[in-house]
Structure formats: C-alpha cells, structure tokens
Homo-oligomer: A and B are copies of this chain.
Amino acid sequence: MTTAQRPTLEAVARRAGVSRATVSRVVNGSTTVAEPIREAVRRAVTELGYVPNLAARSLVTQRTDSVALVMPEAATRVFSDDQYFPGIIRGAAQELEAADKQLVLMLAGSPAGHERVERYTTGRHVDGVLFASLHGADPLPGRLARLGIPVVCSGRPLGGTPVPYVDVDHIGGVSRAVQHLIDSGRRHIATIAGPQDMVGGIERLTGYQAAMTPAGLPEWVAYGDFTRESGATATRRLLAEHPDLDAIFAASDLMAHAALRTLRATGRRVPDDVAVIGFDDIETAAYTDPPLSTVRQPIQEIGRRMTRQLLRLAAGEPIEPAVVLPTELILRDSG
C-alpha cells in the first residue's frame, strides 16, 4: 500500500514559489491575487494533485460543509416499496451537490441510534439537519433549533418548539379525492387512515372528514400503519362492519393496493362495486389491477425544498417557517 503522502498547502506554495496564504487565497477564489501568480498556483495544484484537507479547513472555519439527513429506520422498511425514502434522498442530494456539500445519512431506528443522532448533531459535526418522516413528538428537532443549529423537517413536527418544515397539502389532496368519490355517486365511503402519531396520517384523515362531514355522509374509519398487511386487515374490518360500503380512501397506496386485493378476494368488483383511491402515487400504482387512482405528492421536490431552506438557514438568511407543496389527484381505473 503506497502511503502516497498527499501534498499539503505548504508543498503547493513551495512549488509555486509563493506563501501558503497566497495558495489558500487562490484555492478559495479570492480576487486579490494577480493573474500570473494565480495561474502559477493553479498549475502547481494540478501537478501535485493537491486536494485540500477538509478536516483542517473545518477546524478553522467552523463549518463542516456537510448536512445530516435523519430518517427513522422504519422508513426504510415500512416505505420500502414506495418512493418516499429514495425520493427525499435524491432531492436532497441534488441540492447539496449544487452547493458542494456532503450528505450524511443517519437512520435513527433504535433508541441507541437516536442517541447517536443526537450526539452527532448537537456536537455540531454538521452544518444543519434534515428530518424526514418524523414519528410522534420527537423533541430532537426542537432542541437542535434552540441550540441554533439549522433544522428543517418534512411534515409539520408535532413537538412544542416550532421548527421550519416542508410538507404537502394532505388535507386538500385527500378532500379533493373524497369529493371526487362523492361526486361520482358514492355514498358509503370508508377510509383506511394512517398512523395517528404521524402528521401525514393525521392530516389525511382530516382531509377525509373535511369532505365527508359537509356532505352529511357517515364516516367509517379503520386504522393502518401505511403497510400492505395493515391495509388488508383494515379492509376486512371495514367490510365486516359495513358490508354495504361502496368506496374506500386509503391513506397510502400500499394500503390501497391491499384493499384492492382484499375486495376482490371477497368477490367485490373494483370500481363497479367499490371504488378505491390511494395516496402517494408509487410506481406500482399504475400497475395494480385495476390501475389505482391516487393522490400524488411531489416527494423529490420535498427533499429539494427542505434542503434549500436548510442551506438558507445555514447561511443566515431568513426563510418562511412553512412550505406547503400541492398534491394532485391522479385518476386511473380504480375510482
């Protein structure tokens, strides 16, 4: 293994016949260096293959040029085949790339993992922290915010301290979907709600109610946790309690998919007997049988916007405390 002693500023300076300070100026794009010297330094840099030592730079600048993206580990399992996890990451990665910053991914599943995230982020090892898909009222984002560490969440955080966030219009999207069901003549519309310790779960249920209550229709709710299994169970329960239901709004496509199958297993035709609409617009939605109508949310855009907000925050610029992106009703064949 060639230890390949990598060149330092010093080496470049010697080679270019200037001082370390000048090399530093050139590397960091200061304008106060005369063009010939500038050029000489650049040549030395190339010849030596100089790459700045970020640790050393960090030490003095107090910046790390990296941001953490924290996801509950469950997200990688629960949402395993929707696009949430990769979508957020891609969006964030794109924006960070443009800003030449690194993405440090942290999965905070176990209590130990959570503790680790806390230690790492409060230790100011990153310039900011992105929280995706928070469960319950996690105190960490608020705590970081109070420490003056830039933080942005996906989804309005449930904790006490207000933290900037980016979210989609769950309520509007869902109530539009349910209204569509009502408009097409459905009168016995049930919902499979998501977990009520997540903002998405709560608001999608609110959206359902927002459309049903004014219409004076009965509200039938079963709860799931966004997964297929829970969707199947919930569908069976709804069917048992309300055999006459003629539509189901499911708070996730995964649950909607399970509903589709469960309905068919009990001899119902979709959409003839029962209409089904989901939420997310995962890729699979277009390939279910029948293809699933759903509420699309711009996941990648969420990641992008979160990151943009965070970078602004880190740069000391003011930002709006909440960004809400639109959702879109995608009508396919199921409802």
Q: Which residues of A contact B (CB under 8 A)?
A: 1-4, 6, 51-56, 58-59, 64, 66, 73, 76-77, 80-83, 85-87, 89-90, 93, 97, 100, 102-107, 112-113, 116, 119-120, 122-125, 147-148, 228, 257-258, 261, 282-284, 287, 289
Contact = CB atoms under 8 A, between A and B. Distances in A.
Given A51-B123, A97-B116, A123-B54, A102 B103 contact: no
A86 B103 CA distance: 15
Contacts of A257: 287
A317 to B, nearest CB: 13
Contact of A1 (B1, B52, B83, B148): B148
Given A64-B55, A97-B113, A124-B6, A104 B107 contact: no
15 contacts: A53-B59, A54-B125, A66-B104, A73-B90, A76-B87, A76-B89, A80-B83, A85-B85, A85-B86, A86-B86, A89-B105, A93-B105, A100-B116, A102-B120, A104-B105
A148 B82 contact: no
B107 A105 contact: no
Contacts of A77: 90
A76 B90 contact: yes
A112 B4 CA distance: 26
A217 to B, nearest CB: 30
B80 A86 contact: yes
A120 to B, nearest CB: 7
Contacts of A106: 93, 102-103
Given A53-B59, A90-B76, A4 B284 contact: no
Contacts of A59: 53, 55-56, 59
A106 B112 CA distance: 25
Contacts of A287: 228, 257-258, 261
Contact of A104 (B82, B103, B124, B284): B103
A28 to B, nearest CB: 15
4 pairs of A and B residues whose beta carbons are closest in the complex:
A51-B123, A55-B58, A1-B148, A76-B86
Contacts of A51: 119, 122-124
Contacts of A64: 55
A192 to B, nearest CB: 16
A258 B86 CA distance: 22
A219 to B, nearest CB: 28
A283 B80 contact: yes
Nearest to A83: B80
A54 B119 CA distance: 12
Given A59-B55, A147-B4, A284-B81, A93 B107 contact: yes
Given A76-B90, A80-B283, A228-B283, 19 more contacts: A4-B147, A51-B122, A52-B123, A53-B123, A55-B58, A56-B59, A66-B104, A76-B87, A76-B89, A81-B81, A93-B105, A97-B107, A97-B112, A97-B113, A97-B116, A100-B116, A103-B104, A103-B105, A258-B287
